[in-house]
Amino acid sequence: MKATQLRNRIVAFFVGIALFISAVFGAASFLFAYSIEDRFFVYLLNDEAQTVAAQLESGLEARPRLDFIRYYPEKHELPAIIREVLEDEPNRIEFSGENDSHYHLKQIPTGYLLAEVSEQLVVRKIKGGMLKFILVLFGGVLVLALILAFTSLMMAKRLIKPLDTLVKIVEDAPVERLPQNFSGQFVNDEIGAFARTLEQALSRIRRFISREQAFTRDVSHELRTPVAITQSSLTLLRQTSLTDKQAELVGRIADAQHQITQSLEVLLALAREETLADANTRVLPVVEQVILSQAEKIAGKDIEVEVDIAAKLELPIAPSALRLLLNNLIGNAFTHIRSGVVTIEGRAQSIMVSDTGEGITPELLKTLFEPGAKGPESEGMGMGLSMVKRLCEKLDIELSVSSSDSGSAFCLKFPDGDNQINQ
């Protein structure tokens, strides 16, 4: 979250609190006034009830002292509008009548006391003045809230300035070089402690990345020599007389050796940034090379390979990186299809490798690009597509897959650029 958003939230918080308190205060003021007024009429009726009771005990005629209060010995003597309401709500004590008349009723053992209080409703008469007062108070509270908000904003600006500096340090740092030695410019407070913690975390991440790259690079280089020796030995071995069983075993060793070679190339490409530099590569020659190198996987199968790529199609990717991606995608298609058609299509910004095989199960499709994910009949380690995904992420290439009972399709969509098919 940026500091400006935090400042805006501070102002909005103060203003919102002011508006809320003002609204609550205004509503409470009206409720309080009406409640006091009602209690006043209840008090008057209670007092008149004692007076009427004393008069009746003395044998005198019941006469309330206040001229707006009347005594009714029987219910049927009450005004019609009061009687009608009491039929449905016998416990009601407050009534509204015609012409803005208003009544308060009290039932006593000897009858009813009814007060017509329209002229005594003080709150009704001063309601406009109360509203004006509340609005003025509302405006004053709002102004005070804005003053407090901007005062707090100035204080927050000084407090947040080191945080802005820290955010800028992280934002301006190149992707390939994490920032370091920046915590010393912050004072020893909460933000300074956060800066030191962040610097330590970035330092650990930098060392971890360096170790991972060094390990991948060293493993890739160290394994290249024994892989080359294995390859040459397999070539010589195939030139000797072998039984069918021996030839089968040699073929399996050759397939495994080829997978190791592809994995090493991908790992080396992921570890060395310079091998992934953008370049314009003609696609068709690379596709042809990959098909030839993977041809052993479809030997003896009833498979047709269709290539639909313009001769001059170029894409923004280095030849080695494109070869690594296609080796895995085309190699997978050749491996897992028993009969049918494998199609490689090239467009202005994409390449699609599809087949008419049995498709990928929905369960496997969910985890297809995770390390170790593979089908029940796969003899590989399930790492090829995982490394393809990592390589695509590094090159900003969108990798997608679709599959059904009629086959599967893998699509590589490259970033937009000025490259196009040159006819």
**397-415 burial string, b = 16+ CB within 10 Å, else e?**
bebeeebeeebbbbbbebe
Average pLDDT over residues 272-277: 52
With bands split at pLDDT 50, 70 and 90, how would you rate the model's confidence at 420?
A: very low
Give the pLDDT confidence score for residue 353 in this predicted structure. 93
Q: Hey, which residues does 280 pair with through a beta bridge? A: 316
What is the distance between the alpha carbons of residues 218 and 383, in angstroms, rounded to a whole number? Answer: 19
With bands split at pLDDT 50, 70 and 90, how would you rate the model's confidence at 38?
A: confident
Helix intervals (H) in 185-318: 190-238, 244-271, 283-293
Give the pLDDT confidence score for residue 412 in this predicted structure. 93
Give the pLDDT confidence score for residue 423 in this predicted structure. 34
Q: Tell me the range of 10-19, 80-89, 248-257 where mean pLDDT is highest.
A: 80-89
Average pLDDT over residues 369-377: 65
CATH of domain 277-423: 3.30.565.10
Asked if domains 175-271 and 277-423 share a fold, the reply is no
Residue of 90, 114, 92 lying closest to 103 (CA atoms): 114
Q: Report pLDDT digits (tens) over 138-175.
A: 777 777 777 777 777 677 667 667 777 777 777 777 65
Task: Express as a percent the part of the chain with pLDDT over 70.
Answer: 86
Q: Report pLDDT digits (tens) over 217-259.
A: 777 667 777 878 888 888 888 888 888 888 888 877 887 777 6
Whether 344 shows a pLDDT value over 90: the answer reads yes
Sign for the CA dihedral angle at 279, 280, 286, 287 comes to positive
Question: Domain coordinates of the chain in residue numbers?
Answer: 3-123, 175-271, 277-423
Average pLDDT over residues 109-115: 89
Q: Tokens in use for 144?
A: 């005070």
- The CATH architecture of the domain made up of 175-271 is Orthogonal Bundle (1.10)
Average pLDDT over residues 49-65: 87
Give the pLDDT confidence score for residue 421 in this predicted structure. 38
What is the distance between the alpha carbons of residues 108 and 112, in angstroms, rounded to a whole number? Answer: 6
Give the pLDDT confidence score for residue 284 in this predicted structure. 93
Average pLDDT over residues 185-197: 79
Whether 50 shows a pLDDT value over 80: the answer reads yes
With bands split at pLDDT 50, 70 and 90, how would you rate the model's confidence at 100?
A: confident
Residue of 239, 210, 226, 265 lying closest to 383 (CA atoms): 265
